[in-house]
Structure formats: structure tokens, C-alpha cells
A and B are shown apart, each in its own frame.
Chain A
Amino acid sequence: MLATVGIWIAALLTLAIYSFLYKDNPVYKVAENIFVGVSAGYWAVVLWFNYAWPNLFEPLIVRGNFIYLIPVLIGLMMFAPLIPKVSWLIRIPLTFTMGVAMSLVVLQRIQGEIFPQLQATFLPLSGVSAMQLVTNILIIFGVISTLIYFYFSKAHKGVLGVFAKLGIWFMMIAFGASFGYTVMARISLLIGRVYFLLHNWLNII
């Protein structure tokens, strides 16, 4: 029974949102506002029960672990700009956050992204099939020419200009592929909604 009610609510809200395609109307506005309200409430609950309570308030209040007052203090310093006299205090949490993020991100990005990606461009040009050779040449030239396009310390003229132009072509093809996939994604979402309406709600497929 509860599932049926849920399906009906979801179906009617879906139709309400799609009614905007005809023209803006009060039914659409109602659905839009319900979505905004539910989202805000949902995220408040998620943040409280998954972040604030288990990581701060539970150890502090229930377990009496007062070391957690340090993050409370650092967190409160984020609001320092509200009081001009002590606004400089915000530098402490910002420095802390930046320090932690830098140490984690820089190290892992180098190890997990830059080195493996660089390594992936060291491709053999002999001892491979003709098709693989073409693929390898395309990857090598694609990487070099795109990097040259983003080299701004010298005018893009002569050989540099030719490579920069090639870089633009490679990027345009990549953007085209991305756009194609984006269209596909949007249509997939529409198919998902229509499938829900026809299958779960109307039961005709």
C-alpha cells in the first residue's frame, strides 16, 4: 500500500515537472518548491547524522572526550569574520584545512594521476599491429600538441603554431565526444522516467 502511494506521488510529481515543457504553470511551481524543500531537509538530516553527530557531538557529549573541543574551537573560528575585531582568526582554520588538503591531494595526485598518466603516453612505435601503431601515434601527438596549445610563453607561430592548431583539433574532437555522451545521458534520464511511468505506474510494459 505504502509503495503504491509512493509510486503515485513520484508519478504525479514527474508529470508536474514535465508540464513545464508546455509552459510555466502553478503545478510545476508546486513540484519545484517541494523538491527544494525536501532537498534542504534531506541534506540537513544527512549532515547531522553522518558528519556532525558521529564525528563531533557523540564523542564529545556521550563519551565525554573533551579533546574534541579543539575542532569545535577551530570550527568556530570560521565565523570570525562576523566580528571585525577578531576576523584574522579565520586564518587558523583556513591554514589547517589547506595544509591537510595539500598534503593529501598533492602527494596522491602525483602518485595516482600524474605519473601513471604520463607513463601511459610512453607508447611503443614498433613491434605493434598497424592499428595499434595508429592509435599510439594519435595519443602521442594528441598529448604533445594539446600541451603546446597551453604553452603561452612563446607566440604560436611556425612549427609551434602548427602543433597548437593540431592541439585545438584534438580538443574539439574531445569536446564533441563529451557533448555526444552528454546528449546520451540526458536521453537516458528521460528513458528512465518514461520507463518508470509505463512500467511501475501504469503497468503497461
Chain B
Amino acid sequence: MNVIDRVAKMDRRIIFLLVALAVIIPLIAPLGLPVDITKPVRDVFDAVDTLPEGSIVVVSCDYDPGSEAELSPATAAFVEHCFRKNLRVYMMGLWPAGPDLGNLALEEIAVRYDKEYGIDYINVGYRPGGPVMLVSLGRDVGDIVRADHAGLPIDSFALGRAVKTARDMDFVMTLSAGDPGVLHWIIYFHARYGTPIGTATTAIMAPQQYPYLSSGQLVGLLGGLKGAAEYETLIDMKARAVAGMDSQSIVHLLLVVFIVIGNIVLLYEKRKK
């Protein structure tokens, strides 16, 4: 049996082991590979960076624990940028678990920047209803949001009282893992009320967003963990996403090698037949 025959009959668990090592080793011993900034990420950064102090930014956490690994780092980096620019954060979510996941970053970062709940930031929790809810939200927020995520009346908070319609929202950032998510924000909110929308999506969803970037319906895009790493780099807060980029690059290289080897084996076996 020659080398190619051995490779063809290789136990697939060896591949799992190699992938695991390619993830674990760079996390323990970082290589510090550079993170290039792409235009869609810079566009989100610039849009937020140029907002006047005190502007209200809606952060919609439209994801669940299944996509937490990709979208929580983006949430943290984005909220950090908002607080650094003294913007007010209005957190909500179209997915049940999203606002609670987002709240972990929100509360932790708010303490660091000495921000006060109800004045500088608020979390109004999960808002069910998808498209119908978004249409109503833009027209009259009071119809949709009567309490914050802890059940306290929304009118008891200054920031709650400040957001009445879509006109009071200066920017919407949707951290989106699927349906309902960024597409609904574009079609049912941006198209009707014109509020600028940026997004951070899972990598799987990222290619679908490019038509909306080129049509100007989206301000910018953070695609997957890579997008979050770029945003962390832009705000000079190298955290969880940047830490994962070395592993991501090494695994991608490994997969390219696997694809090449797989094709060589395939060609060899075809010729043998």
C-alpha cells in the first residue's frame, strides 16, 4: 500500500484531531497574524464614529446561544464603541435569548464607562412579532414597548421616554443570526422609516448581505467572527474575536491542504481504475 492509498483509507478522526489542534494551539500560543480591515466593517465604524454625542443607537440582538460565539464579540465591540463615543444604547432583540446574551456585554461595559441604566442605556428585551412588530415599532414605540426587560414601566426611564418613533433612533445595529433579523430590519423598517442600518451577521449569512450593501440599504457589515475581529482592531480593543483569528487562519490553511490532498487522491484513484 503506497502513501496515497494510506491517505485514502485514513481514519477521519485524525482529521478531527488535526482541526482541534489547529484551533487549540494558536489560542494558547497566539501567532499575532494581522487582521486587515475591510470596507464594510470600516463603514459601520465610521457611521457610529460620526454620530453626535447623545445620539440613540438601537442594538438589536437577533441571535441565540447557537450563534453566540460569532455575534457576542461583535456585540461587545460595538457597545464599547458606542459608550466610548457617549452614545445612548437602546438594546432589544427579535430572538428570545438575544437581549439576555447582549445584556452580559452591555452591563459589563456600562460599569467600566460609568454609564447609568435608564439614562445612558436600556434593555427592553425580547420583542416578538417579527415584521409586524417592526412596522409598529417605527410608527409608535409605545405600542410595542411598555416595559424594560426586567418588567419595569418604560416611562419610568428617561431613555425609555426619549424613544417614541423611528425618528428618535439615529442608528440601528442588528446582530443577526437568521430570521427574523437583518432582512426584516431592511425591508420593514429601513424602507419605511429610512433609519440607517448596520449589521453584524453570522458568516453563513454574510454573502447574502452584499446586495444590500451595494444598494445602500445597509451602511456596513461585520461578517462573522472575522468582522468582529476587524471591529475590535478598529477600536483598539483586542479581545475574544482577535484571539480567535489565528486559529481561524490556521484551520483555513489546513482545510485548503485537505482539499488539495483529497483531489489528488481522487485523481489517482480515477486513473487507477
Given contacts A111-B191, A191-B248, contact A181 B224 (CB under 8 A): yes
Are A108 and B248 closer than 8 Å at their CB atoms?
no
Instruction: List 18 A–B pairs whose Cβ atoms lie within 8 Å, in order of A's numbering.
Output: A21-B13, A108-B192, A109-B187, A111-B192, A112-B186, A112-B217, A116-B217, A119-B215, A120-B211, A120-B216, A139-B214, A181-B204, A185-B224, A187-B19, A191-B248, A194-B247, A204-B28, A205-B27
Assess the B207–A190 pair: CB atoms within 8 A. no
Check B225–A117 contact: CB distance below 8 A: no
- Chain A residues lying within 8 Å of B240, measured Cβ to Cβ, are 195
Question: CB-nearest residue of chain A relative to B19?
Answer: A190
B interface residues with partner A (beta carbon < 8 Å): 13, 16, 19-20, 23-24, 27-28, 66-70, 96, 126, 128, 131-132, 135, 186-188, 190-192, 202-204, 206-207, 211, 214-217, 223-226, 240, 243-244, 247-248, 251-252, 255
In whole angstroms, what is the CA distance A172 to B48 when docked? Answer: 35
Closest 6 CB pairs of A and B: A192-B69, A112-B191, A120-B215, A112-B187, A185-B203, A188-B225
Q: Which residues of A contact B (CB under 8 A)?
A: 21-22, 46, 50-51, 104-105, 108-109, 111-113, 116-117, 119-120, 139, 174, 177-178, 181-185, 187-195, 198, 204-205
Contact A187 B252 (CB under 8 A): yes
Which of B28, B135, B203, B225 gathers the greatest number of chain A CB atoms within 10 Å?
B203
Q: A188 to B214, Cβ gap below 8 A?
A: no
The number of A-B residue pairs with CB atoms under 8 Å apart is 120
A21 to B128, CA, bound (A): 37
A188 touches B70 (CB 8 A): yes
Whether B214 and A120, one on each chain, are in contact in the complex, defined by CB atoms closer than 8 angstroms, is yes
Chain B residue at smallest Cβ distance from A43: B96
CB distance from B86 to the nearest CB of A (A): 30
B53 to chain A, nearest CB (A): 31
Q: Which chain B residues border A183 with CB–CB below 8 Å?
A: 252, 255
Give CA–CA (A198, B247) in the complex, Å: 13
- Nearest A-chain residue to B186, judged by Cβ: A112
Other than A104-B131, A120-B214, give 4 A-B pairs with Cβ distance below 8 A.
A112-B190, A181-B203, A192-B244, A205-B28
On whether A191 and B27 interact (CB within 8 A), knowing A50-B96, A184-B224, the answer reads yes
The one of B96, B190, B225 in contact with A191, judged by C-beta atoms closer than 8 angstroms, is B225
* CB-defined contacts of A50 to chain B, threshold 8 Å: 96, 126, 128
Q: Which residues of A contact B202 (CB under 8 A)?
A: 185
From B190, B191, B248, A187 is in contact (CB under 8 Å) with B248
CB pair A191–B252 under 8 Å, yes or no, is no
Residue ID in chain B nearest A181 by CB atoms: B203
The distance from the CB of B107 to the nearest CB of chain A, in whole angstroms, is 14
**Chain A residues with CB below 8 A from B13, complex form:** 21-22
Q: Give the interface SS of chain A, mostly helix, strand, loop or mixed.
A: helix
How distant is the Cα of A111 from the Cα of B189 in the complex, in angstroms? 11
**Which residues of the partner chain B approach A193 to less than 8 Å between Cβ atoms?**
69
Question: How far apart are B27's CB and chain A's nearest CB, in angstroms?
Answer: 6
CA distance A72 to B129 in the complex (A): 18
Check A174/B207 contact, CB under 8 A, given A205-B28, A205-B243.
Answer: yes
CB-based contact B211/A117 at 8 Å: yes
Which of A109, A177, A205 gathers most chain B CB within 10 Å? A205
Kindly list chain A residues whose C-beta atoms are within 8 Å of the C-beta of B27: 191, 194-195, 198, 205
Please give, as numbers and ranges, the residues of chain B lying within 8 Å of A51 by CB-CB distance: 128
A113 proximity list for chain B (CB < 8 A): 186-187, 191
Instruction: Give the docked Cα–Cα distance between A117 and B248 (Å).
Output: 33
Q: How far is the CA of A181 from the CA of B207 in the complex (A)?
A: 7
| Cβ distance A104 to chain B, nearest Cβ, rounded Å | 6
| Cβ-defined contact, A116 with B191, below 8 A | yes
For B252, what are the chain A residues with a Cβ–Cβ distance below 8 Å? 183-184, 187
Q: Please, which residue of chain A has its CB at the minimum distance from the CB of B28?
A: A205
CB distance from B96 to the nearest CB of A (A): 5
CB distance from B143 to the nearest CB of A (A): 12
